[in-house]
Amino acid sequence: MSEFSAECQAANRIAAQLRGLPTPQHRAMVKVKVALGPKVRKPRAHATGIPGKGTYLKLAKQALMAEVLAYCHEFFAENDQLPPQACIAQRFKVTEQTGHDYLHRLAKEGHLERNAVGKWRFANRQK
């Protein structure tokens, strides 16, 4: 320990005594016990209906996919093609990547498929 740090410690000890604070040795001997309340368990998220958790999320995604599919039908009726990712993103106020994910999810559910040139089309259900 350097001479400078010993001097600082002594000065801090004197200042603490002048302010009426306990010394470091005294603080080490005094143990303060804090009374803790009973431990409360958080409710499970799936039971609370919190968005993004459990069954709530599943139902919300199903409803959203139905809206996206309805939008695809509306867009197709007006434009003779399925909406691009950018249009889906703009309509549902999400990023283009999320619009891309919506199209892929509809394809996974069997509503859409790719044609010979790689464009999206409504799936042919007569297989």
User: For residue 121, which phi and psi values (nearest 5 degrees)?
Assistant: -145, 165
Owner of token pair 């958790």: 53
Q: Could you state, in order of their start, the residue ranges of all structural domains in the chain?
A: 51-122
| Other CB atoms within 10 Å distance of the CB of residue 88 | 22
pLDDT score, position 5: 77
Is CATH 1.10.10.10 correct for 51-122? yes
Residue 43 corresponds to which tokens in the numbers above?
A: 């409710």
Rounded to two decimals, the pTM is 0.54
For residue 112, the SS3 value is strand
Instruction: Kindly report, residue by residue over 91-124, the tens digit of the pLDDT.
Output: 888 899 988 899 999 999 889 998 888 888 888 8
